[in-house]
Chain A
């Protein structure tokens, strides 16, 4: 029974054969998980990369070097641009194609039905693709994951097990930080073993936050299977036409400036005034302004120019936004939730301004200025004017 589901499939994202970093990060994490899995369960389950596109045969070979045991690819001009419908259909076909599953491991060819696990990227493409693929496959999906563990879980659950104690073997524990950044929720995708409505829920799937897992090193001596899957393409699934694509420059630039001044809910006492102070501080340092995730939800009423300029998702530093390695990072009224810290921890010199010495940001900064930003920022600005003259580098 257990062998109906084997392997971990990773859906690769790329731009004309150039991998997005998250694709390789997922391969690296998949490799780590399945190496542990295989030694723990004395098994030989594989990391299988799934890649769709046009003229991608060469690129798919590289996935083996990064850690995949096998690559299943579909090469077709209709798959050049990612279009949700046709990509969902082809990935779902691949996940249910017992022939390719059998090619991965001939000895299990007779029983295998589907992958055991499946990974997608939590970005503009993978977030939606994972949703529609898992709807087509009628299985479970957790989004925005930043930690993964595989374990046997013993539990009794009113609905899942009908209240009986059961062991769910080889269960993927999918950890996701919640919107506050202080709570971590573990999601499981479990078969219904309740006799009232028994049902398989495989693959256990998730979308993974880009930038969270390490990039694996390429090893040209690695070998693996490359399998072409020729999809069935129905013209009905090609109704979306891509008319054009235009690259846009973001107004927010976290790459060039060497200073980033971020703010969080600590602006709340005088949001308008404090945002102006932060704006001024950033200007004095020729820096960019960042925000924490809660601020992008526009929790405060401020004048519309400040609102539309600053309280926007594009400015979020953290797992839901950007990662920075600024030379100077100033966190004003930022508590230091895990998602935010992920986005700023690679900065050079970190200054936090916060009245609360117990705030987690204290462990992530070099200087902790204890005080309200209303009081501290004007002093900082005054002193910066005296000490630091910034001339824009040409």
Chain B
């Protein structure tokens, strides 16, 4: 039957939760003042990997590219997934990479992991970059079948075939759930709506056992942690960082204020008389639907 090996690629991102996030007066993110954390979509990917641990006893590894402080994200993801191997790919040469340059690092890192991977998970997209490209690009470089928007999965350990449901939403059409199957290895970008569920008692017991183990491991995460620079990783330096990035950010500007499309009447929200008039206008606007 063999072992199931799962890798998760994650990202350290600005923490958008209240109290940790800081915005400049103009509404843009104040990166210097904003704390960092494991990205929420990365956390979902780690949960999906933990599902594999509970259901199939999978061995989980996690990789990330980022600054040295990204070990924090690895620790957080280990706490979720009970990973046994944590990789940080960190080098000044990687800085400024676009998604293609990042995917090259992650692909090389996944190859460097102890086990040959059967499933690689990534989050849907990063909360700051929001491209959603790094996952599929890493998949293609690995030569793995790419499955996007996956909301649930199971693995037949005998046949090594994965079954998954994908949520497809397209403009102007109702959402579709597509059920597919694919032989391992596969690369899954996990949908934001993914939720693990454990129905059987034995699964819930395994869940608690591994959760406890995850806490112990995360407390000693350094024991599982390896940092690689470009040389240690053995990447082709022309394929990573700026040289390996086809795209550059040319300029960042404030979105120009569009010309006012409406002329607002300003009313005082504390004055019940004015609110009364506003509601009368709302009623007028809605009149077609009001049946007296």
Q: Cβ of B63 < 8 Å from any Cβ of A?
A: no
Q: How far is the CA of A345 from the CA of B258 in the complex (A)?
A: 12
Q: Cβ of B292 < 8 Å from any Cβ of A?
A: yes
Report which residue of A328, A357, A369 has the largest number of chain B beta carbons within 10 angstroms of its beta carbon. A369
Q: How far is the CA of A144 from the CA of B256 in the complex (A)?
A: 18
Complex interface bits, A139-161 against B, C-beta within 8 A gives 1, otherwise 0 = 11111100000000101011110
Which residues of chain A (337-394) have a CB below 8 Å from chain B? 337-338, 341, 345, 348-353, 357, 360, 362-372, 375-376, 379-380, 383-384, 386-391, 393
Complex interface bits, B249-265 against A, C-beta within 8 A gives 1, otherwise 0 = 11111111111111111
> Looking at chain A, what size class is its interface with the partner chain?
35 or more
Query: DSSP class of A's interface residues: helix, strand, loop or mixed?
Result: mixed
Complex interface bits, B166-204 against A, C-beta within 8 A gives 1, otherwise 0 = 011111111111111111000001001100000000000
Stretch at the interface among A39-47, A51-59, A176-184: A176-184
Q: Cβ of B66 < 8 Å from any Cβ of A?
A: no
Q: Cβ of A20 < 8 Å from any Cβ of B?
A: yes
Stretch at the interface among A65-73, A110-118, A224-232, A246-254: A246-254
Q: Cβ of B113 < 8 Å from any Cβ of A?
A: no
Contact present for B242 and A140 (CB under 8 Å)? no
User: Inside 8 A of B147's CB, which chain A residues have their CB?
Assistant: 84, 240
User: Inside 8 A of A132's CB, which chain B residues have their CB?
Assistant: 136-137, 139-140, 146
Contact present for A188 and B18 (CB under 8 Å)? no
Contact present for B268 and A370 (CB under 8 Å)? yes
Which residues of chain A (171-207) have a CB below 8 Å from chain B? 173, 177-190, 192, 194, 196-197, 199, 201
Contact present for A241 and B182 (CB under 8 Å)? yes
Given contacts A183-B28, A241-B180, A375-B269, contact A141 B278 (CB under 8 A): no
User: Inside 8 A of B1's CB, which chain A residues have their CB?
Assistant: none
What's the least CB distance linking B250 to chain A, in Å?
4
Q: Cβ of B32 < 8 Å from any Cβ of A?
A: no
Contact present for A327 and B146 (CB under 8 Å)? no
Contact present for B264 and A184 (CB under 8 Å)? no
Contact of B255 (CB < 8 Å), options: A177, A313, A367, A372? A177
Contact present for A297 and B243 (CB under 8 Å)? no
Contact present for B248 and A188 (CB under 8 Å)? yes
Which residues of chain B (249-292) have a CB below 8 Å from chain A? 249-270, 272, 274-276, 278-286, 288-292
Contact present for B40 and A368 (CB under 8 Å)? no
Q: How far is the CA of A380 from the CA of B262 in the complex (A)?
A: 22
Contact of A140 (CB < 8 Å), options: B247, B264, B278? B247
Stretch at the interface among B51-59, B70-78, B123-131, B211-219: B123-131
Q: Cβ of B245 < 8 Å from any Cβ of A?
A: yes
Contact present for B148 and A393 (CB under 8 Å)? no
What's the least CB distance linking A240 to chain B, in Å?
5
What's the least CB distance linking A95 to chain B, in Å?
14
Which residues of chain A (207-255) have a CB below 8 Å from chain B? 210-211, 239-250
Given contacts A21-B171, A240-B145, A247-B176, contact A341 B275 (CB under 8 A): no
Contact of A183 (CB < 8 Å), options: B135, B170, B178, B253? B253
Residue on A nearest B130 in the bound complex, by CB: A179
Complex interface bits, A97-134 against B, C-beta within 8 A gives 1, otherwise 0 = 00000000000000000000000010111011011101
Q: Cβ of A60 < 8 Å from any Cβ of B?
A: no
Q: Cβ of B27 < 8 Å from any Cβ of A?
A: yes
User: Inside 8 A of A134's CB, which chain B residues have their CB?
Assistant: 100, 137
Contact of B238 (CB < 8 Å), options: A141, A197, A249, A379? A197
Residues of B at the A interface (CB closer than 8 Å) are: 16-18, 21, 23, 26-29, 40, 96, 98-100, 103, 127-128, 130-133, 135-137, 139-141, 145-149, 163, 167-183, 189, 192-193, 238, 242-243, 245-270, 272, 274-276, 278-286, 288-292
Residues of A at the B interface (CB closer than 8 Å) are: 13, 15, 20-22, 81, 84-85, 88, 121, 123-125, 127-128, 130-132, 134-136, 138-144, 153, 155, 157-160, 173, 177-190, 192, 194, 196-197, 199, 201, 210-211, 239-250, 258-259, 268, 271, 285, 294, 297-301, 312-313, 327-328, 335, 337-338, 341, 345, 348-353, 357, 360, 362-372, 375-376, 379-380, 383-384, 386-391, 393
